[in-house]
């Protein structure tokens, strides 16, 4: 960061700190997401916010090679006890946390001590890919669905004590947890989070919330804020919120589906063209690029050994490398929206979950789509019905080792991520694959249940 930039940030932070103090806020949580998908934090008193905005907060780069159990590995560029980084809050995202009275939150960008951008900063990677799209006159709009399972805190016995035992999508479950869900909506609204819908999902105790889309970096920021808000509101109600890919093996797991649309000069490129189902050629090529790269993207979007326990055919998880119109079994679902609703047309990547770092997901999906545009790719024929019954459909990686092979062979992801970040991701996910090799499926699910 340049000196003038730091000085401007310090001045802005001083004004923000005065407003926070007047609202009885005492601390600011500064978060980033590591390569294992865990949200890490450093917190500063409000009185130190201006200093932090100018000089940053120290943090070891070794966290980029931490695993979900807080052990660490080495990669060619990152690892070990040496070195330090500076975390700089994005004050444009500063949010008063209604679910944690007395606290505010901001995501951070990470820099070297000498002010150079840190090569393995996932948030800056997402921003670089967003800028690449903008250079072509494209604006990307993205949003994550958040699914979670609610259990009773401290319930005896090994089995989960689900909260909200009514049927899938049933009003009975919403009535049972009416106060909890009302408080969640109220808290999100107080944080200026625009909720589109909230409903009970398929599995016991499972819910889903969808929020309004944003730019790729903003969408990743928002899903972090939404998850931590759900966690905070759940704790106030004596509940645990779990975002892990699987709670019980054999049941439908938690996804983190990514919705996206492409815009140019205020026009939604997912409609009004002569491509499949009204897509423009730009949209088709972008989606074809995502679909083609999907096996390698799985190491970023469904990266945990537990992710592969969720990715079962015929469970709406998107286990096959195919696309279809409103097909909830396809990994890539195209949604036309209502004819008179210009913003409704979009695509959904269904095979991702919350073990992913959302900044890596939005950045890598953008990179894959742009590569599809460069190559003028077209989509294969859409799949109708369950892909498991269709001829010639390719299964997405069914094991961590398969996902690792596809990722390691991806020249596109290696180039766009850069070697330090690419190698750190590879080291983390390879170590986790080895860590759980041969473990019983439910033991894998239990090991990561409380980590996400």
Q: With contact defined as beta carbons under 8 Å apart, do 139 and 215 qualify?
A: yes
Region of residue 20 (phi > 0: left; psi between -120 and 50: alpha; otherwise: beta): alpha
* The CATH fold of domain 3-118: Ubiquitin-like (UB roll) (3.10.20)
Q: Rounded distance, CA 171 to CA 377, Å? A: 44
From residue 46, alpha-carbon distances to 42, 49, 89 in Å are 13, 5, 12
Q: Which pair of tokens denotes residue 59?
A: 């943090």
Rg for the chain, CA atoms, rounded: 21
Could you write out the DSSP letters of every residue in 78-90?
A: S-SS---EEEEE-
The residue extents of the domains of the chain are 3-118, 129-449
Question: Under 8 Å CB-to-CB from 376, ≥6 apart: which residues?
Answer: 285
Sign of CA dihedral 295, 297, 299, 303: negative
CB burial string 264-277: b at 16+ within 10 A, e below: eeeebbbbeeebbb
**Helix (H) / strand (E) containing 95:** strand 95-96
Contact 346, 260 (CB under 8 A): yes
In the beta sheet, which residues pair with residue 415? none
Tokens encoding 426: 């590879």
Prediction pTM value: 0.97
Please determine whether the domains at 3-118 and 129-449 fall in the same fold group of CATH.
no
pLDDT in tens, the chain (452 residues): 788 888 899 999 999 999 999 999 999 999 999 999 999 999 999 999 999 999 999 999 999 999 999 999 999 999 999 999 999 999 999 999 999 999 999 999 999 999 999 999 999 999 999 999 999 999 999 999 999 999 998 765 556 789 988 899 999 999 999 999 999 999 999 999 999 999 999 999 999 999 999 999 999 999 999 999 999 999 999 999 999 999 999 889 999 999 999 999 999 999 999 999 999 999 999 999 999 999 999 999 999 999 999 999 999 999 999 999 999 999 999 999 887 777 789 999 999 999 999 999 999 999 999 999 999 999 999 999 999 998 889 999 999 999 999 999 999 999 999 999 999 999 999 999 999 999 999 999 999 988 99
Q: For 413, how many CA atoms within 13 A lie in the half-sphere containing its CB?
A: 32
Domain 129-449: assigned CATH number: 3.30.590.10
Pairwise CA distance, residues 203 & 389, whole Å: 24
């Amino acid at each position: 960061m340049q000196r003038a930039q730091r000085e401007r940030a310090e001045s802005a932070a001083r004004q923000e700190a005065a407003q926070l103090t007047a609202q009885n806020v005492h601390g600011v949580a500064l978060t980033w997401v590591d390569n294992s998908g865990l949200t890490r934090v450093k917190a500063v008193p409000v009185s130190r916010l201006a200093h932090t905005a100018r000089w940053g907060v120290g943090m070891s780069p070794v966290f980029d090679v931490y695993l979900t159990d807080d052990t660490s590995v080495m990669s060619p560029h990152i690892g070990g006890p040496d070195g330090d980084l500076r975390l700089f809050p994005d004050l444009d995202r500063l949010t008063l946390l209604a679910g944690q009275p007395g606290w505010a939150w901001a995501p951070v960008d990470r820099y070297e001590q000498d002010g150079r951008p840190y090569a393995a900063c996932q948030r800056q990677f997402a921003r670089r890919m967003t800028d690449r799209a903008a250079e072509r006159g494209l604006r990307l709009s993205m949003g994550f669905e958040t699914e979670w399972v609610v259990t009773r805190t401290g319930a005896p016995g090994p089995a989960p004590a689900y909260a909200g035992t009514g049927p899938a999508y049933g009003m009975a479950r919403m009535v049972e947890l009416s106060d909890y869900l009302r408080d969640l909506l109220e808290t999100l609204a107080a944080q200026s989070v625009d909720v589109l819908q909230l409903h009970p999902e398929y599995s016991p105790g499972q819910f889903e919330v969808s929020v309004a889309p944003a730019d790729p970096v903003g969408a990743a920021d928002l899903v972090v804020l939404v998850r931590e808000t759900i966690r905070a509101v759940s704790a106030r109600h004596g509940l645990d919120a779990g975002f892990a890919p699987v709670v019980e093996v054999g049941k439908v797991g938690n996804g983190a589906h990514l919705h996206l649309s492409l815009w140019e000069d205020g026009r939604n490129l997912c409609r009004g063209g002569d491509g499949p189902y009204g897509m423009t050629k730009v949209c088709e090529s972008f989606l074809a690029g995502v679909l083609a790269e999907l096996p390698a993207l799985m190491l970023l979007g469904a990266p945990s050994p537990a992710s592969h326990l969720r990715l079962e055919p015929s469970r709406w998880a998107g286990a096959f490398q195919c696309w279809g119109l409103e097909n909830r079994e396809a990994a890539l679902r195209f949604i036309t929206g209502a004819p008179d609703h210009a913003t409704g047309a979009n695509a959904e990547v269904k095979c991702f979950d919350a073990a992913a770092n959302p900044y890596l997901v939005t950045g890598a999906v953008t990179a894959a789509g742009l590569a599809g545009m460069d190559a003028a790719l077209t989509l294969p024929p859409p799949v109708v019905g369950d892909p498991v019954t269709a001829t010639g459909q390719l299964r997405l990686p069914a094991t961590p080792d398969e996902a690792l092979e596809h990722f390691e062979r991806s020249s596109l992801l290696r180039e766009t991520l850069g070697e330090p970040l690419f190698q750190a991701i590879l080291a983390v996910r390879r170590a986790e694959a080895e860590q759980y090799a041969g473990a019983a499926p439910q033991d894998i699910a239990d090991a990561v249940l409380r980590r996400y």
